[in-house]
Amino acid sequence: MEYKHHNYIGMKNLLIVLVAAILFIPFLGSAHLFDWDEINFAECAREMLYTHNYSQVQIDFQPFWEKPPLFIWLQVLSMKVFGVNEFAARFPNAVVGIATLLILFNIGRRLIDEKFGFWWMLLYAGSWLPGFYFKSGIIDPTFNLFIFLAIYFAYMIRYTAKPNRAAILSGVFLGLAVLTKGPVAILVALLVLLVYWVYNKFNISLTIKQILLITAFTAVTTLLWFGYEIVTHGWWFVNEFVAYQVRLLTTGDAGHDGPFFYHWIVLLTGCFPASIFLLTYLQNIRSKSVYLSSPIPVKDFSKWMWILFWVVLLLFSIVKTKIVHYSSLCYFPLTYLAAIQVQRLTEGRFSMKKWTIILLLLIGVLLGIAIGSLPLVGIYKNELIPYIGDKFAVANLQADVPWAYWEMIFGWAYVLVVIICGVLLWKKKIQQACITIFVGTLLMMQITMAHFVPKIEGYSQAAAIEFFQQFQGKDVYVQALDYHSYAKLFYTKKVPPSNKNYYDRDWLLNGNVDKPTYFICRITDAAPYLTHPNLEKIGEKNGFVFFQRKPVAHP
């Protein structure tokens, strides 16, 4: 019987792998990488391949101390297999997505049952941002999985027959998280541990030995690279890294500042529809029935998840830099708590309040209308332009992106899915309603990635990337003026500059340049360069202006 059970679970896991691969792998290369983050990490991997320097991360062939190398290494391996391209840059996160769904299903079935594992997996994959991120080339999906596993194994110390092994695994995964994104992993873990300790009336159920094991294996894992870096290149990397992390916490970086409730709104709308079911959790959080029965105390794991959710949400609401994916670690606890509510709803343990159904309808219908309106924006852009005050946005809209009225059907189909879900919820047909909305969202994400994202990218950056790509294999300098971009590196396939003066912007503009030099800037910043004595305007397209400077003749 035990063999048959293992074989049954193995078949289910194989099915999850196959379905997840179908969800996350197709269309990875359908659009160019997006500035900044996607191109930043892909360029680091490209330069690592070019220089064969696998111990130090570089950008523009200079040391890049903002991120450790683990995710870059994964991209390097992918590029060795698939080549230096968009698909290869995003493929590691597709694999992480497959692993994440497997892990959620198996942890869920061990905590509660297989049905719960299915719901947790479906809620994660079938909510907009959590599912969409597995098709990206950013660090966060990988980082988040490692942090979640570190916290899960810390929780398991109390309930497993092998607590020391759980402590070791917790330390290893925490170390991997540090190697992925940096010491913020330790900050989050310590805050979660501290809050749990206080909330649990100063009882954390960990021995000194287990705490030491977590600490030791975190240190050992991180020192595999950090230690090598310190021994080989000294402390400068660590000093710069710490200074950068402090700056992110205390100042608005790169124009990415925002209000305190920025991430609250991101989670409500970006994690739709799971976020709506999380709100139902608030209806009866004080009720003991909110925790499903299980041999393992689910109530305790729910504490860990609530604490992780609030620690991440409040921490990144306080810090000055506001970027969408900073709160993405909330996706694990959010979907877990929402999945509990879905299962309780399907078992008839409580009923959704009317206001939550109305909120689901409101957000879902607005999302569908927004998607359905994209073709209209493209078709009637000339009528809309007089109402747009941003000169750069107006110029972006001049891009020749083909649209047709029939493309509206995708957005309106999603509106129909949301309405059907709302009607089913109203009739208390919970299982049918949840499958409808989450599967519908999953399908809409595939359509969005394959059909709409390349068209949106056609407005936002395609002209710039087209400009950069023409210089591949040419002995020239290429520089962006008054805006930051990694696309000029990745899409020109830049090689190390022979003249170190290249890094001096003033030299490129006014010095004795030794090869043709090309510049790009946004139309809103072009005025001073149009009259610059050394620059010749050679073109303009969709909000970007292009300049050339000829090399200076030497006597």
Per residue in 308-358, pLDDT (tens digit) is 999 999 999 998 777 888 899 999 999 999 999 999 999 988 889 999 999
Q: Tens digits of per-residue pLDDT, 230-249?
A: 888 777 776 776 677 666 66
Tokens representing 266 are 């991101």
> What b-and-e string marks burial along 203-218, b requiring 16 or more CB atoms within 10 Å of the CB?
ebebeeebbebbeebb
DSSP class of residue 385 equals G
Helix and strand numbers, DSSP H then E, in the chain: 26, 6
Residue 24 has pLDDT above 60, yes or no: yes
Average pLDDT over residues 466-494: 96
Is residue 452 scored above 50 in pLDDT? yes
Per residue in 352-381, pLDDT (tens digit) is 999 999 999 999 999 999 999 999 999 999
Q: How far apart are CA 155 and CA 151, in angstroms?
A: 6
Lowest mean pLDDT among 16-20, 245-249, 436-440, 444-448: 245-249
Domain map of the chain by residue range?
2-346, 354-460, 467-549
Average pLDDT estimate for 194-211: 90
In whole angstroms, give the CA distance from residue 107 to residue 100. Answer: 10
**Mean pLDDT throughout 132-150?**
97
Distance of alpha carbon 330 from its chain centroid, rounded?
12
Mean pLDDT calculated for residue range 264-286:
87
Least confident of 252-266, 318-332, 389-403, 449-463: 252-266
Tokens of 350: 């409580």
3-state DSSP of 262-297: HHHHHHHHHCCCHHHHHHHHCCCCCCHHHCCCCCCC
Q: What proportion of the chain, given as a percentage, has pLDDT over 90?
A: 80
Lowest mean per-residue pLDDT among 254-263, 280-289, 306-315: 280-289
**Helix then strand then coil, % of the chain, to nearest 5:** 70, 5, 25
DSSP character for 184?
A: H
Token representation of residue 248: 């992110």
Choose among 72, 73, 81: nearest CA to 39: 72
Across the range 114-134, mean pLDDT stands at 96
Q: pLDDT averaged over the chain?
A: 91
Question: Scanning the structure block, which residue is given the tokens 């009637």?
Answer: 380
- Give all strands of the β-sheet with 536-541 in edge-to-edge order: 477-480, 517-522, 544-549, 536-541
The share of the chain scoring above pLDDT 70, in percent, equals: 93
- Give the residue-averaged pLDDT of 128-149: 96
CA atoms within 13 A on the CB side of 177: 27
Whether this prediction's pTM lies above 0.85 is answered by yes
Q: How far apart are the first and last CA of the chain?
A: 88
Residue 38 above 50 pLDDT?
yes
Whether residue 555 is predicted with pLDDT greater than 50 in this model: the reply is: no
pLDDT value for 498: 87
Phi, psi of 521 (to 5 degrees): -145, 165
pLDDT digits (tens, 9 = 90+) for 285-307: 555 445 545 445 788 999 999 99
